[in-house]
A and B are shown apart, each in its own frame.
Chain A
Amino acid sequence: MSSPTPAKWGLRTLAFGYLGLLLLAPVAMIFYKTFEHGIAPPFEAMTSPDAVHAIWLTLLMVAIAVPLNTVFGVGCALLLVRHKWKGNAIIDGIINLPFAVSPVVIGLSLFLLYGNDGWFGPTLAEWGFEVLFSTPGMVLASVFVSLPFVVRETVPVLQEIGTEQEQAASTLGANAWQTFWRVTLPAIRWGVAYGIVLTTARVLGEFGAVTIVSGSISGETETLPLFVAKAFEQFDEQAAYAGAIVLALLALTTLLLMSIGGRRTKAGASGPIPIAGDAAISTSDTKEGS
């Protein structure tokens, strides 16, 4: 290492100082504030009827949006990778759209479709369907924001595994359905699982889009992030902190699953499927190869 020690220590100080002040200290502070008076107050705050409902509703969003986007994601990835088509480039571009759109704009877009003056709102109201300010609208928002993850994580894995095993299966007489369940899915399972983790995390934490379409009615259309925001605005800091801690713990779990998933795919635990470019991002091996 050619750089002199003072420079090294200077850079270290800058890096750790920035991370500490911006990330670590605030996160540590909110944990301290939550458990300042023991575990009872946050526990109480999280077992109030509104809080319990918010947690339940958040899990409901996950239970609907995640399976939908998983089935779509795997199917779409298969189409994109295994069937060359002119339309693939367009589909690929559309899948990236939710990344480029502010969640507030996503909320507004659903408002414009399903509101009282919206494109579909009046007709659906006639049929007795209420989308806005109720669960269906929130589900649509959650599905929109979390749509790309499974596709994005599955496509590179599918490209990586190639088609030899699938060809072998079909030579041995397996039909497409059998090939998928017995050969393809087991080979791509870690990529799909990784996508599911990311989708779940995104749905759990979504705030912007859901706040516009839900109306944020306590005990009715309030997910956990909305509960946190409202509790804080109503000066119920204890409840806000407790809710934030629940979400933060879920985020830390995600982080853990992400690094395990990254290592898993890298080590090739399920066959030859290192995710392209993952080595640089997921773990800490830093010695350059060449």
Chain B
Amino acid sequence: MEGHPATLTTAPPPRAGLRLPWAGLGLGRGLVTLYLSLIVLLPLAAVVDESLAKGAGAFWDSVTGSESMAALKLTVICSLIVVAINAVFGTIIAWVLVRDEFPGKGAVNALIDLPFALPTIVAGLTLLTLYGAESPIGVDVAFTRIAVVMALCFVTLPFVVRAVQPLLIEMDREMEEAATSLGAGGFTVFRRIIFPNLLPGILAGILLAFARALGEFGSLVLISGNIPFKTEVSSVFIRSQIESGNVSGAAAVSVVLLAISLALLVAVSFFARMGTRNSEPGVLSRAVNRIIARSQIGGDT
């Protein structure tokens, strides 16, 4: 009966593309919901439940405990430093990749994605071989806060570059030329024309990088030394609490991290949708979606 000519004349008018029959559609939605519930929702619900298992007071005490607070502060401050560094260098790198010409540009461009592709444990180990105790250049930063900043710089490098790059490519160069012909110097053109146009991209990249840095774990375990009150970030603190049996304390800090990251993700997608002044609408939005979709390989958010 399949494709028999006779059936064609009486076939119903074609519907919009490939559609599942009614029963299959219900089954499909059911399966998707079940899979997401089992894999993602139930486990996260268990974390929220455990964090409140001993009441809101215990939750608050766990989060504001001295070691937990020290870890949280270190995580936030290091992440802020890291996104500031990568905002500056990321913009410069994006500029060089778009506006400059040099041999091997394709390879350098591909290299930017290396931190997304490299397993985080390998990222930490590579930094340790060059900047650790056996450093051939005599720079030993292992087990210091500098090492934490360095590892976070490594894993969050691509965010600002990849958010700014498409904006630079789309940018209308006529404005710059007009400004120059009216007598503006190089710095003035940057400050008054280029920077305002790139700012949404820089900010989107910063938010994504910050969310990533907050939860980072793999690249830090070897190089930071995990010293409480000194180099212990929140994700490492969570692990040490699990290992010492304080699971509800670990869950409380987890919920705080989870809430901040979620808020950042929502903020960045809202922000990207607002668009940019002089680019085709949706350029930044698409770039952000790309970055989010790719940032997770080998990585820890």
Contacts and interface: CB of A to CB of B under 8 A. Distances in A.
A56 interface: no
A234 interface: no
Given A99-B265, A104-B239, A251-B114, A228 B186 contact: no
Contacts of B283: 277, 280
A202 B297 contact: yes
Interface string B47-77: 1011000000000000000000000000000
B17 A166 contact: yes
A288 B95 CA distance: 13
A99 B292 contact: yes
Nearest to B20: A176
Contacts, number: 361
A286 B130 contact: no
B92 A94 contact: no
Contacts of B176: 2
B59 to A, nearest CB: 15
A265 to B, nearest CB: 12
Interface residues of A, number: 119
A109 B298 contact: no
B171 to A, nearest CB: 7
B261 A101 contact: yes
B78 interface: no
Contact of B301 (A87, A102, A147, A278): A102
Interface in A133-158: 140, 143-149, 152-153, 156
Contacts of A190: none
A43 to B, nearest CB: 18
Interface in B105-139: 105-106, 108-115, 117-122, 125-127, 129-131, 136
B236 to A, nearest CB: 8
B231 to A, nearest CB: 16
Contact of B162 (A30, A183, A228, A281): A281
A62 interface: no
A244 B218 contact: no
B199 to A, nearest CB: 17
B150 interface: yes
A207 B242 contact: no
* Chain A binding surface SS class: helix
A108 B297 contact: no
Interface in A60-86: 72, 75-76, 78-79, 82-83, 85
A258 B298 CA distance: 14
B293 A149 contact: yes
B145 to A, nearest CB: 17
Interface in B209-250: 211, 214-218, 221-222, 235-236, 238-239, 242, 247, 250
B8 interface: yes
Interface in A95-118: 95-113, 118
Q: Interface residues of B toward A: which range? A: 35 or more
Interface string B68-103: 000000000000000000000100110111111010
Interface stretch (A4-12, A46-54, A122-130): A4-12
Contact of B39 (A105, A143, A180, A205): A143
A211 B238 CA distance: 13
B122 A113 contact: no
B271 interface: no
B227 to A, nearest CB: 15
A24 B32 contact: no
A173 interface: yes
B198 interface: no
Nearest to A101: B258
A258 B4 CA distance: 43
List the 9 closest pairs (A to B, CB-CB), nearest first: A163-B17, A205-B119, A102-B215, A277-B286, A280-B166, A109-B43, A205-B298, A173-B3, A207-B218
Given A112-B46, A198-B297, 13 more contacts: A15-B89, A29-B130, A72-B32, A100-B265, A101-B44, A156-B289, A204-B298, A205-B121, A207-B217, A277-B166, A280-B169, A288-B171, A288-B173
Interface of A: 1-4, 7-8, 11-12, 14-16, 18-19, 22-27, 29-30, 33, 72, 75-76, 78-79, 82-83, 85, 87, 91, 94-113, 118-119, 140, 143-149, 152-153, 156, 162-164, 166-168, 170-176, 178-180, 183-184, 198, 201-202, 204-208, 211-212, 225, 228-229, 232-233, 240-241, 244, 247-248, 251-252, 254-255, 258-259, 276-278, 280-281, 283-284, 286, 288, 290
